Structure 1
Amino acid sequence: MPAKILIVDDEPAIRRLLRNTLERAGYVVVEAGNASDAITRAAAERPDAILLDLGLPDRDGLGLIPLLTKAGDTVLLVVSARDATAEKVAALDLGAHDYVSKPFDTDELLARLRVALRYRGAGDATAAAVVRRGDLTIDLDRRMVLRAGQELHLTRKEYDVLALLVRHIGRVVTHDRIIAAAWSGDEDARVEYLRIVIRNLRQKLEAPGPVGSVIANELGVGYRLRADS
C-alpha cells in the first residue's frame, strides 16, 4: 500500500506543488490548510507522514508538533520558510524528524521523506542493529565498526556519539541531545568537544576519495548519519 502523506500548509500554491510532487512519486495525499484541520485530518486519516508548515493562521506550527506525533507511528517533516537555527532546534526537540527550508528542492524533499518513512517509528530500542553504507558496517549488538571488513578502533566517546546517530539514522540529532547522551553528567561538555569527536569519526569512517560525508552537518543545529535515499 502506498504511504499516505498529510500536507499542512495555508498556501494553496504550496499545497498544490507538494501534492503534485508526492502523487507523481506514488504517495496518497491529504491536505489541511490550518492547525485545526490538521488535527482533525491526522486523527481521521492516520497518515504515515506529515509535512508541516510552521506559519499557520490559527496556531503556531511548533505547538502542533507534539500533538501530531504523540501516537509515535507518524513521521513529521517541517517544511517552512523559517530558517533560523533556533526554530530548527525547537522543532527537532519537540519531535520533528527533519526540517526542510523553503524554497526547497523537490528531489531533496522526496529523499528525506523516503528516509523518514524507512525508519518510521524507529527509536533507541527498535533501530536496526546493523547499518551498512558502502564498505562501512556498524554493528550495535556486537559494538563493532568495520570498513572494508577491517575493524575500526573507536574511543568510547566516538562510539557513543556514533551509536546515537545510528539509532536515529537519517534524522538530525541536535547538539544538546548528543552532548546530553554522550557526556552525561559532565557539566563542562561543550559543542567544541563534540566537533572534535565528529572530526575524528569522519577521519576513521570515511574511505579516501571523493565520497560524500557519512556524517552530515546541519549548521548550528546538529548532525545526522546519512542513509541511502
Structure 2
Amino acid sequence: MIRVLLVEDDEATGEALSTLLRGEGFEVDGASTGRDGLRRFQDDGADLILLDWMLPEISGLDVCRTVRQESNVPIIMVTGKDSEIDKVVALEVGADDYVVKPYSSRELIARMRAVVRGRRNAGPPPSRVLESGPVRMDLEQRQVTVSGEEVPLPLREYELLGHLLRHAGRVTTKRQIADGLWGVHNKGVGRSIDVHIRRLRMKIEPDPKRPRHLLTVRGVGYKFQS
C-alpha cells in the first residue's frame, strides 16, 4: 500500500481528497500546516507527498526544498498557482510533478501512481554527497569540507553553494538562483547573492581575489568550476 502524506490547509479539500485516496487504496496521513507536514514526514516518512503551495507557518515551496535535501521521496505540488514561472520554480526546488486546482481526480491518481512507479524503478537513490574540486558537501550531516577541512556556513551560503555544486560546470543566473532557492527575485536579492558569493570565496578559495572555483560569468551569472 502506498503511504501518502497530504499537506493541505483547507479542511474541506483535505477531507475530500483523503476520502478519494483511501477509496483508491492509498494510506493517507494529513497535515494542515507546512511545519506540521515537515515534522510528520521527518518522524514517520511517506511513499509520496501531496503538497499545497500556500500553507501556514512554512510555505509548501520551503517544505519541498527541505524535504528534497533530506530525501528522494516523490513530491507532487497540488496548488491553485498556475503560472509558468510557478511551475518552473516548484520543479527546480525538487517537486516531481505539478497539478493545478481544480484538477481531475483520475488524472491526479494516475500522476501519483506514475511518480511512485518511476521512483521505484529508478534504481538506488542519488548520492547524498555533492563534490567538486576541493569542496565536499555531505547533505545528511549538513557538513561542508574544503580540502578535508570543515568549513561552517550559515544557511544562505550553504544553500547557495549546494545549488552551484548541483550545477557544477554550468552557468547559473542570479534569477535562477533566487527563484530556485528562495522563490523571489528583485534587485536586492541580486545584490545579496553577490555578497554571499564574496563570503563563500573567502572560505573556499585559496586566493579569493583570483577565484579558481566560484567563477563570475560577466553579464550572466556564476558557475562552480572544479
TM-score, with structure 1 as normaliser: 0.52
Tell me the equivalent position of 2:106.
107
Partner-residue secondary structure (3-state), 2:46: coil
- The CA distance in 2 between the partners of 1:87 and 1:71, in whole Å, is 23
Matches within 5 A, 1:162-201: none
Residue 70 of structure 1 and its aligned partner are, at CA, apart by 2.9
Tell me the equivalent position of 2:49.
50
Residue 126 of structure 1 and its aligned partner are, at CA, apart by 7.4
User: What amino acid is aligned across from residue 28 of structure 2 in structure 1?
Assistant: V
- The CA distance in 2 between the partners of 1:38 and 1:89, in whole Å, is 23
Tell me the equivalent position of 2:64.
65
- The CA distance in 1 between the partners of 2:37 and 2:119, in whole Å, is 20
Residue 71 of structure 1 and its aligned partner are, at CA, apart by 3.4
Identity fraction in percent: 31
User: What amino acid is aligned across from residue 115 of structure 2 in structure 1?
Assistant: A
User: What amino acid is aligned across from residue 104 of structure 2 in structure 1?
Assistant: D
User: What amino acid is aligned across from residue 6 of structure 1 in structure 2?
Assistant: L
1:29 aligns with 2:64: no
1:76 aligns with 2:54: no
Tell me the equivalent position of 1:95.
94
Could you give the per-residue CA deviations for residues 39-96 of structure 1, whole angstroms, max 9, x where no partner exists?
1110122100000000002122111112123333310000000111111100001110
State whether residues 99 and 108 of structure 2, in contact with CA within 8 Å, keep that contact through their aligned partners in structure 1.
yes
Q: Please list every run of at least 4 consecutive aligned residues from structure 1 whose deviation after the TM superposition is greater than 6 angstroms.
A: 124-127
- The CA distance in 2 between the partners of 1:28 and 1:96, in whole Å, is 21
Tell me the equivalent position of 1:4.
3
Looking at secondary structure, tell me which structure has more helix per residue. Answer: 2
State whether residues 48 and 116 of structure 2, in contact with CA within 8 Å, keep that contact through their aligned partners in structure 1.
yes
User: What amino acid is aligned across from residue 62 of structure 1 in structure 2?
Assistant: L
State whether residues 75 and 121 of structure 1, in contact with CA within 8 Å, keep that contact through their aligned partners in structure 2.
no
Partner-residue secondary structure (3-state), 1:120: helix
Partner-residue secondary structure (3-state), 1:51: strand
Larger Rg: 1 or 2? 2
Tell me the equivalent position of 2:208.
none
Tell me the equivalent position of 1:166.
none
Could you give the per-residue CA deviations for residues 9-54 of structure 1, whole angstroms, max 9, x where no partner exists?
1001111111011101101000000011001110122100000000
Partner-residue secondary structure (3-state), 1:77: strand
- The CA distance in 2 between the partners of 1:124 and 1:96, in whole Å, is 19
- The CA distance in 1 between the partners of 2:120 and 2:93, in whole Å, is 15
